Amino acid sequence: MNRSTPKNAGLFPLFLAAQLVAGHNGHSSEPPTPPGSLPIRPPALVVVHIFLQLLTWGFLLPIGVILGLARSRLHAPVQAIAGLLLSLPATTLPHLAARHPYPPTLHATLGSALFLLLLAQIIQGLFLKSHRLEPSTFRSTIQLTHSIIGKSFFLLSWIQILLGVVASLSFCYGDHLGQCIAHMIMGSAFVGYGVVMLSMLEFGRPWLRFRKISQEYLDCCVITAWGVVNTFTEHGVFFSAGPHWSHKDLQHTFLGVIWASAGGLGIYLSRGGRRSVISGLVIIITGWAFQSHQQSLELSTRVHGAFGVTLMAAGLVKIITVVRHSSSVPNAQPEPGLDALDHLTPLLLTISGVMFMSATEEQLILISRIGVDHATYVLGQVSIGCLLYLYINLLIHFYRRFTSAKSSILDPAHAQLVGGPVSHKQASLDGQYERLSMENLLSRQLERPHRESSSSSFDDNDDHM
């Protein structure tokens, strides 16, 4: 996942994935347990499956992709361990569990497809390693495919883990499917917004400066597009659900209207690299609207209220940050680290996204039946959001650590300090990858604005697989 360019548009595949959930005929519309019952207790083999798959898709594979982007030799071992030693047995375990109580779901179908995709990724890596010195059109095609598949693992892992949580709790069946999809999409969008914002703060400032656009301009473009889609799909596609409008239909549709309207205003005000507070204002208005939503359960109303307050805080900090960094165009050189205020907005967005995904009707009915109050539940979701944000920062730290180590090896002056020059073979081999790092790829784009870069972050996987 190249973090030097904006990836806001990457949030929209979540919508497509949700449509697959809704339309997949393997996901039964009837709940596997009577309505109102507690979730199914998973068999021991399924518990092992959950642990191994979380370790594989939640930790090792994202770290392996980061190592690939950083051109580290640890990339190949990590991917092999994740793909062959962990994912293979984890994928087969649920099928070995006799009479496991789960019906066919999209999670199971997508899991098999993802394992085949991971296997294809490993085979491509082995091919690239064994044919490193044979440039050809076929090899270039394999490089591109390997790059796209590798970067897609971030999004695919997130979707599969969410589907796994839903399947393990036996949620999102029947009449609950629509609102469950809405919560998962919107919550994931806020988490993705936080990840993109943090990535742009870490890597995207030179790109923004060169293009003479601001982060708020990109924010408002996505807000506008999302608002248009929401306006014309909330009450059916182009209001096809009929003449009767519920209060929730009206609330959600007019949220789309305000996003499209304010987003268009923000695009105009932030043109030419200007900073704008409109995106922060839209976040505040959205938080206020959700905080005012009346729910059927008091617990649900309080949880939605906490979500709205968190979102309003994120918007307020966003506005303060924009006013504080008053320059029209971002600084030419990225700062070595972000200050506390820079981290606060993406952190609050991540927390709010986790809270909204955890506020579905069935989840809150279950929490209410167990006897957990809203404060305890909200504290738990805030904890999960903080851990998720910590993990995202660790991935960024790993990338910077490995790229700086690689740069140090390639630096002759540094080599003399640590014990001698780099060998000709090592310098030649590492030089093949130097052009593929995020910083160098971005630098070449800034120096040659009219030439399109044809390289990929996973090109020439000589040292990887």
**CA atoms of 84 and 90, how far apart (whole Å):** 10
Give the pLDDT confidence score for residue 206 in this predicted structure: 87
End-to-end alpha carbon distance in the chain: 18
Q: Above 80 in pLDDT, residue 451?
A: no
Domain with CATH 1.20.120 in the chain: 40-169+424-465
Give the pLDDT confidence score for residue 176 in this predicted structure: 75
Residue 234's beta-bridge partner residues?
236
Give the residue with greater pLDDT, 263 vs 164. 263
Give the pLDDT confidence score for residue 7 in this predicted structure: 41
Give the pLDDT confidence score for residue 93 in this predicted structure: 67
Q: 150 falls in which pLDDT band (50, 70, 90)?
A: confident
Nearest Cα residue to 64 out of 47, 53, 76:
76
Q: 384 falls in which pLDDT band (50, 70, 90)?
A: very high
Give the pLDDT confidence score for residue 308 in this predicted structure: 93
Nearest Cα residue to 88 out of 63, 65, 109, 111:
111
**CA atoms of 359 and 127, how far apart (whole Å):** 46
Sign of CA dihedral 305, 309, 310, 315: positive
**CA atoms of 433 and 403, how far apart (whole Å):** 11
Give the pLDDT confidence score for residue 239 in this predicted structure: 63
Q: Above 70 in pLDDT, residue 358?
A: yes
Mean pLDDT confidence for 168-180: 77
Give the pLDDT confidence score for residue 235 in this predicted structure: 64
Give the pLDDT confidence score for residue 131 in this predicted structure: 64
Cβ–Cβ under 8 Å, residues 272 and 292: no
Nearest Cα residue to 353 out of 3, 60, 7, 11:
11
Q: 61 falls in which pLDDT band (50, 70, 90)?
A: confident
Q: Above 80 in pLDDT, residue 418?
A: no
Q: Above 80 in pLDDT, residue 120?
A: yes
Instruction: Write b or e for each residue in 324-356: b if 16 or more Cβ atoms lie within 10 A of its Cβ, otherwise e.
Output: eeeeebbeeebeeeeeeebbbbbbbbbbbbbbb
**CA atoms of 68 and 73, how far apart (whole Å):** 8
Nearest Cα residue to 453 out of 431, 429, 426, 435:
435
The yes or no reply on domain 40-169+424-465 and CATH 1.20.120 is: yes
Give the pLDDT confidence score for residue 335 in this predicted structure: 52
**Chain-centroid distance, C-alpha 309:** 23
Give the pLDDT confidence score for residue 427 in this predicted structure: 46
Give the pLDDT confidence score for residue 55 in this predicted structure: 86
Mean pLDDT confidence for 97-105: 61
The per-residue pLDDT for range 201-248, each reduced to its tens digit, is 888 888 888 888 899 999 999 999 988 988 887 766 666 666 777 777
Q: 378 falls in which pLDDT band (50, 70, 90)?
A: very high
**CA atoms of 433 and 437, how far apart (whole Å):** 7
Q: Which two tokens stand for residue 210?
A: 């060169």
Quote the percentage of the chain above a pLDDT of 70.
69
Burial category of 419 from C-beta neighbours within 10 Å (exposed 0-12, middle 13-18, buried 19 and up): exposed
Q: Above 90 in pLDDT, residue 300?
A: no
pTM: 0.75
Q: Above 90 in pLDDT, residue 382?
A: yes
Give the pLDDT confidence score for residue 377 in this predicted structure: 94
The per-residue pLDDT for range 190-214, each reduced to its tens digit, is 999 999 999 998 888 888 888 888 9
Burial category of 186 from C-beta neighbours within 10 Å (exposed 0-12, middle 13-18, buried 19 and up): buried
Mean pLDDT confidence for 276-285: 94
Q: Above 90 in pLDDT, residue 307?
A: yes
Mean pLDDT confidence for 145-149: 88
